[in-house]
Structures are given as structure tokens and as C-alpha cells.
Amino acid sequence: MKDSIRLFVAAVLPESLKDKLYSQLAAFEHPDIRFVPKQNLHLTLYFIGNAATAELESIKEKIKETASHYPPFMLRYRQTEPGPDAKKPRLVWARFEPHDTFKQLSRELTQQLSGEKPSKEKPIPHVTMARFRKDKPKPKDLPVITPEQELELQVNGIALWQSELATPHPIYTILKVYPLA
């Protein structure tokens, strides 16, 4: 068994939402943009990073306890665009409207799992759809796609994911799903 494991906490996306979001990527086709594989799409709440394997059970308990304090909530999709800074983008993301429960849950996970006070920046609910190649100039004149029909993500639970670095994309595995209260 390895001494450490790379982890993050995220909401699982239903296949129907993945399909709708993924269909938008044709508008971002460019040799210097790498699409995230559809099976890797998720909505991150907190990136843990490398953690000692011996801490895994404690991490699971903290996530379970935190999840039990929050009700399910609905996120409304806003748009897919280059971001997070439109002037200096590094990825293409599907952004959702800000939501208080998402913000509070993300902040509590940060505090419980890192022991640090969360930053004052508001966490932005989003799904990373593609990344720009770091060694190439950023593509220009990329679109902003707004929905033709309203899309929503019902968040009923959160999951602990393992991320194994691999080429050309990391391999993600859901270790445990935790229902919200």
C-alpha cells in the first residue's frame, strides 16, 4: 500500500448533465485545449491533495460528519466560458450561480480537512471542462455559451475521490459517497 493518496471532495454529476455540458465543447475545439474526459467531470468542493494513507479513515469521518450538517441543494447552471480570469484564462469551465449552501459546505470542508481558516474568496461552483496547454499561447476569441434551456444540478450528496496522476489525464475513482442531511 502506498504511503500517500491524492484526494478531493466533489459532487457527482448525473450522466444527463455531463452529456449536455460535454456537447458544448465542440465550440472550444483548438489544438492547445485539452478536454477533460467526460467520466472525470465533477463539481469540486475541496481539493485535499496528497494525504497520508494512515489518515484516510479520519478524512472519511470528517467528510461524513460535515455532510450530515447540510441539506440537499440545487445549483443553477450559468454558462460555459474561459476562466477563471477571462483576460488570462487557464481553463474552460461550466459555471453555476453562487449558492449559500455550496459556499458554506465548501468552507466547512476546507476547515475540517485542512485545519486552516477558509480564504475570504467565495468558492465558485463550477465544473472544469478543459485546460489550456501551459507551454502554448492562450487561444483568443473563445465563446461564452449560455444555456438554451435551464440546467440544474441537484446536489444530494458529496463524494471522496482519489486522483491518480496519469498521462494524458488523471484517473479518478470515487472512494465513498456521503448523503447530505
Per-residue pLDDT of the chain (181 residues; tens, 9 = 90+): 579 999 999 999 999 999 999 999 999 999 999 999 999 999 999 999 999 999 999 999 999 999 999 999 999 999 999 999 888 889 999 999 999 999 999 999 999 999 888 777 889 999 999 999 888 888 888 999 998 889 999 999 999 999 999 988 899 999 999 999 9
Between CA 80 and CA 96 the distance in angstroms is 9
Short-list 172, 159, 175, 163, CA closest to 67: 159
Peptide bond into 71 cis (omega under 30): no
The CATH number of the domain covering residues in 4-179: 3.90.1140.10
Distance CA 77, CA 94 (A): 7
- The residues, any chain, with a CB within 8 Å of residue 82's CB and separated by 6 or more, are 89, 91, 92, 142
Residues 79 and 87: their CA atoms lie apart, in Å, by 17
pTM: 0.93
Class of residue 178 by CB neighbours under 10 A (exposed 0-12, middle 13-18, buried 19+): middle
Give me 14's grid cell. Answer: 448525473
